[in-house]
Structure 1
Amino acid sequence: MTQTPSREETPVDRRDFDRFVTSRAGRLWRAAWFLTGDAHKSEDLVQTALTNAYPHYERLGDDESFEAYVRTAMYRSYVKWWRRRWNGEIPTQQLPDVAADRGITPARVDLARALADLPKMQRAVLVLRFYEDRSVAETAELLGISEGAVKTHSSRGCASLRRSTHLTEEVAP
């Protein structure tokens, strides 16, 4: 006869994981939103990353390590989706009202629009380098590209943002 493990014997304490998700979901969603430019895809990306990372929650020990693991899973999922041409929806110039509910300011909306005009790899590099404050080496490792490619995408992406009609001078990098 097989017994179901008691609450104390489960490998991952669901309450701790729920607390982690509650405390970190907003920041994860914002990073995903800058990547995808779409509220629904952002939610899908965060949920996919959390689902993939959940089995490793207890092994990683602390929230900072687990958040780094989730972010890595999120960026790798984004690259995988991009390489599979995961774009079933038609892009629009108007962002959904969900952004207002998540504390997205008009400057962030303008930045998201400018980022949406960039090629996906440039967008991913800029979000990692300047929003996530990752090093060139970390960005290269997360995206599976060389450090030289990170520098090239970063330079070209910043140049494109400087020319963007969506950004005012005080927002542009």
Structure 2
Amino acid sequence: MSWEADLDTLVTERGSALVAYAYLLAGNLASAEDLVQDAIVRTYSRRRPEDITWVEAYVRRVILHTYLDGYRARRRFAAVTPLLATADVADGAQEAAGDRTDVARALTSLSPRERACVVLRFYDDLTLPEIGLRLGVSAGAVKRYLSDARRKLEPLLGPQPGLATEDVATITKGGSR
């Protein structure tokens, strides 16, 4: 199968899942779609992968790093540009989508690292060491980011027992705790 066919398969079969993943990080659909497009372009401009499962995992990783790099660039740019006032977002969401809207809004209160840790932990279902490897930080730093995220999310969403890190075992190279 050619790389063009592999790319077409990835986009048609897994494109919506990739956009959903990016949406959790970016917080809006347009940015999520841009993140996915950038990640796919970066992935296919560097190599011609063979295994479509590997490609999706690699694209997810590129999405994460593109999001974090973009945040850093926006933060630097915002430091030198004047602040603009924006209109508040109206709360006209349907009852069924209310929880989703609340979570999406609450995620915007987190720093990029905290948000990435929450998404990787609860959307990708990764362990603390796996999150640390993806982000290039220690498992202890991941625990700190999740703890900070819990403190920020609880006033907005109520108690979040799933964000507790005290009961999560950290796997070391020796296989013990």
Asked if 2 retains the 8 angstrom alpha-carbon contact of 1:79 and 1:143, the reply is: no
Q: Distance in 1 between matches of 2:46 and 2:70?
A: 22
Alpha-carbon RMSD? 3.1
Partner of 1:34: 24
The list of structure 1 runs, each at least 4 consecutive aligned residues, that deviate by more than 6 angstroms after superposition, is: 87-92
Q: CA deviation at 1:76?
A: 0.9
Q: CA deviation at 1:13?
A: 3.0
TM-score relative to the length of structure 2: 0.73
Partner of 2:166: none
Q: For structure 1, which runs of at least 5 residues remain unmatched after alignment?
A: 1-7
Q: For structure 2, which runs of at least 5 residues remain unmatched after alignment?
A: 79-83, 163-177
Partner of 1:125: 117
Greater relative CO (CA pairs within 8 A, separation 6+) = 1
Moved more, 116-125 or 82-91: 82-91
Number of equivalenced pairs:
154
For 2:121, give the aligned amino acid.
Answer: R
Q: Distance in 2 between matches of 1:56 and 1:92?
A: 41
TM-score relative to the length of structure 1: 0.75
Asked if 1 retains the 8 angstrom alpha-carbon contact of 2:39 and 2:66, the reply is: yes
Partner of 2:146: 154
SS of the equivalent of 1:132 reads coil
- Sequence identity, in percent? 34
1:70-118 residue CA offsets vs partner (Å, 9 max, x unmatched)? 01111111111112226779776538xxx99xxx943222111010111
Q: CA deviation at 1:56?
A: 5.6
Q: Distance in 1 between matches of 2:100 and 2:161?
A: 11
Asked if 2 retains the 8 angstrom alpha-carbon contact of 1:57 and 1:66, the reply is: no
Q: Does the alignment pair 1:19 with 2:14?
A: no
